[in-house]
Amino acid sequence: MKLIDGKAIAQKIQLETLASVELLKSQGHVPGLAVVLIGEDPASRAYVRSKDRMCQELGMHSEKFELPATTSQADLLALVARLNANPAIHGILVQSPPPPHIDERAIVEAIDPRKDVDGFHPVNVAKVALGDPDAFVPCTPLGCQRLLLEAGVETAGAHAVVLGRSMIVGKPMALLLMQKGPGGDATVTVAHSRTRDLPGVCRSADILIAAIGRPEFVTADFVREGAVVIDVGINRVADPGSPKGSKLVGDVAFAEVAPKCRAITPVPGGVGPMTIAMLMHNTVLACQRLTR
């Protein structure tokens, strides 16, 4: 069993990004990322801090907007409009989920698609579906594809099962695996909570991408011998033995599944570090496109 080290692969990508940032700076451009947080969600605040810190480490321009939970839809749209018009900002990210009174879809649609480094704007969703190389691909599926490439997993002709059908991971992941070229050319099945004989469908996979958002849902019964498993889940569960009283686990029951796998990602240290690495990659890409 091979452990796919997302932390090490993410560091390799950050070095590539750093080189791109230095080249852009030599041409008079500094990639800029604006991150907007509405409300006090602790996990979201931690994500925003880590994104801000990573920008600084890579020498990128970073602007952080921490807005109260009472911020109105109109005020948030006005901020997005200002960021769209700001030439120092090449990427805009509004942290999800916003408070219930905010229409998240309207906010996403207000972001300039050329600055939509999360890849959620309908223009970018369509471009991914069309195989347009100018698409911004959502960071987590893009990171999963890069993990497969770096781990030497052959996707061409493989049967990939994507467990989960969200717009954030499941659907774009399936589209990436179907595209022609490296990291693609797979035969893809998208499975979900309504799939009949879910364990049987997952067992048919050469490559299983678990993104269902349920802690340790994928047990040994879901995985055939020699499969490759990418665990997208990040779930905090109670752990009385831990100093914090909780621990992070994936959507895969790692201890029982790992022995059956040819390769598997751990949680933490698998897909998680890749998501932020691909966000930085997308921001540099946006700067390159907007300044050429």
Rg of the chain over all Cα atoms, to the nearest angstrom? 19
Q: Is it the case that residue 211 has pLDDT exceeding 80?
A: yes
Residue 5: which pLDDT band, with cuts at 50, 70 and 90?
very high
Residue 193: how many other CB atoms lie within 10 Å: 11
Q: Which strands make up the sheet holding 159-163, listed edge to edge?
A: 2-3, 261-264, 227-231, 207-210, 159-163, 187-191
Tokens of 268: 């933490």
Q: What local confidence, expressed as pLDDT, does residue 43 receive?
A: 77
Residue 106: which pLDDT band, with cuts at 50, 70 and 90?
very high
Active site residue 206: no
DSSP for 64-90, please give it. Answer: EEEE-TT--HHHHHHHHHHHHH-TT--
- The active-site residue out of 51, 115, 127, 171 is 51
For 147, left (φ over 0), alpha (ψ -120 to 50), or beta? alpha
Which residue type does 192 have? H
- The active-site residue out of 112, 116, 118, 231 is 118
What is the rounded distance in angstroms from the CA atom of residue 141 to the CA atom of residue 275?
Answer: 8
Q: What local confidence, expressed as pLDDT, does residue 48 receive?
A: 85
Q: What local confidence, expressed as pLDDT, does residue 244 receive?
A: 85
Q: What local confidence, expressed as pLDDT, does residue 47 receive?
A: 82
- The active-site residue out of 14, 95, 145, 179 is 95
Residue 46: which pLDDT band, with cuts at 50, 70 and 90?
confident
Task: Determine the average pLDDT of the residues in 126-143.
Answer: 96
Q: Is it the case that residue 134 has pLDDT exceeding 90?
A: yes
What is the rounded distance in angstroms from the CA atom of residue 175 to the CA atom of residue 128?
Answer: 7
Prediction pTM value: 0.95
Residue 97: which pLDDT band, with cuts at 50, 70 and 90?
confident
- Please name which of 113, 80, 108, 112 lies closest in space to residue 96, comparing C-alpha atoms: 108
Which residue type does 16 have? E
Residue 105: how many other CB atoms lie within 10 Å: 10
Q: What local confidence, expressed as pLDDT, does residue 49 receive?
A: 87
Q: What local confidence, expressed as pLDDT, does residue 198 receive?
A: 98
Active site residue 221: no
Q: Is it the case that residue 242 has pLDDT exceeding 90?
A: no
What is the rounded distance in angstroms from the CA atom of residue 96 to the CA atom of residue 94?
Answer: 6
DSSP for 187-226, please give it. Answer: EEEEE-TT-TTHHHHHHT-SEEEE-S--TT-B-GGG--TT
Contact 215, 234 (CB under 8 A): no
Active site residue 145: no
Residues of the chain above pLDDT 90, percent: 91
Q: Which helix (H) or strand (E) holds 246?
A: strand 246-249
